[in-house]
A = this chain, B = another copy of it.
Amino acid sequence: MGRQPSAKPTSFDIAYLAGVSQPTVSRALRGSKSVSAATRANIERIARELNYTVDKNASSLRSQRTHTLALLFFEDPTPDESMINPFFLSMLGSITRQCALKGYDLLISFQQMHNDWHVAYQDSHRSDGIILLGYGDYQLYRTKLEHLVEMDTKFVRWGSVSDDSIGLTVGSDNVGAGELAGAHLVEIGRRHIAFLGDASDHAPEFQDRYTGLCRAMRAAGIAPDPGLQQGAVSSEASGYAAARSLLASGQPFDAIFAASDLIAIGAMRALAEAKLRCPPDVALIGFDDIPAASQTSPTLTTVMQDMKGAGELLVDALLRRIGGADAERTMLPAKLIKRQSTAV
């Protein structure tokens, strides 16, 4: 009978039982070396017996460090509220795991582009740093990123790793990945290669992939045809529309490099409707290797980004940044996954 089991023990309780002062308990549990091994062992034993856990709020308040990272997803305002880009979802796993490994909690938030997220997290002391994830109009949030830098908020961004990008950026080697895809298409004998994806500076990653494609083509002595490039955002519908307008343009092509798998899947549908067989008539490569890519018919050749590595790198880079170090921009290599859509 007696005490409620839910009366949470504090460091004072431990201190009393151990016959020391509260600060000593704090020091012992945090691994300060100015407490003797015997005392520490005793304190740790008592803490375990009482099921004691440090109160995060009090700890964060005093130390001004939350041991929490915030993950902000960006989405373009989309009619379908529940859809999330599958690519980012798969990165979530590795980010979470890496956070856990480093002893950090992860706070998640989805944001519409237009929101004032740049204010929301910077001062509320809820996280030590921010991970920014999201496709979408890069120019649109450029100024917000500048604001973050100005406020000395610690953050990492996933995206195109170019010299003029703002803040600390981690991303795939999109140019290299584009080259991989282009080289493969050239290798299987394609010369009229179309690109589906916005290649403006509103979408630096897509632009980089296009740049890589062009580089591979030129290396093979082929001049890229600007007329074979069609704008598209990362969705099945947009890919479908882009492929339709490519077909409607009447220009001959024997391969498509789509800037994302969703675009590729939309294009695949348009090709099927146009009675074009995909490999023989048109070879198709996507980007991301989302789960659906191996379920389409034909299965989709695509570029796989190292998402496990990406999550770890993002977290590590952010933690270094928080620690005051000058973390550098980093690029991750990508890998070509060959499937039926380029099997000639």
Contacts and interface: CB of A to CB of B under 8 A. Distances in A.
Interface in A245-261: none
B291 A86 contact: yes
Contact of A97 (B51, B94, B110, B126): B110
A68 B108 CA distance: 11
Contact of A6 (B52, B58, B94, B151): B151
Contact of A53 (B52, B61, B123, B152): B123
Contacts of A151: 5-6
Nearest to A269: B295
Q: Considering residues A89, A105, A107, A295, which has the most beta carbons from chain B within 10 angstroms of its beta carbon?
A: A295
Contact of A55 (B55, B61, B86, B92): B61
Given A52-B123, A53-B124, A100 B110 contact: yes
Contacts of A90: 82, 84
A89 B290 CA distance: 13
A330 interface: no
Contacts of A307: 82
A189 interface: no
A56 B66 CA distance: 10
Interface string A47-82: 000011111111011000010100000000000011
Given A93-B83, A291-B291, A295-B295, A56 B109 contact: no
Contact of A89 (B57, B60, B84, B308): B84
A100 B70 CA distance: 14
Nearest to A91: B82
A19 B108 CA distance: 37
B123 A51 contact: yes
Given A5-B151, A81-B308, A106-B107, A125 B55 contact: yes
A200 interface: no
A151 to B, nearest CB: 6
A57 B125 contact: yes
A191 to B, nearest CB: 29
Contacts of A265: 295
A150 interface: yes
A139 interface: no
A308 B272 CA distance: 32
A41 interface: no
A296 interface: yes
Contact of A100 (B60, B109, B126, B150): B109
A60 to B, nearest CB: 4
Given A55-B125, A57-B125, A93-B110, 11 more contacts: A53-B124, A57-B61, A57-B66, A81-B94, A81-B97, A82-B93, A82-B94, A84-B92, A84-B93, A105-B109, A291-B291
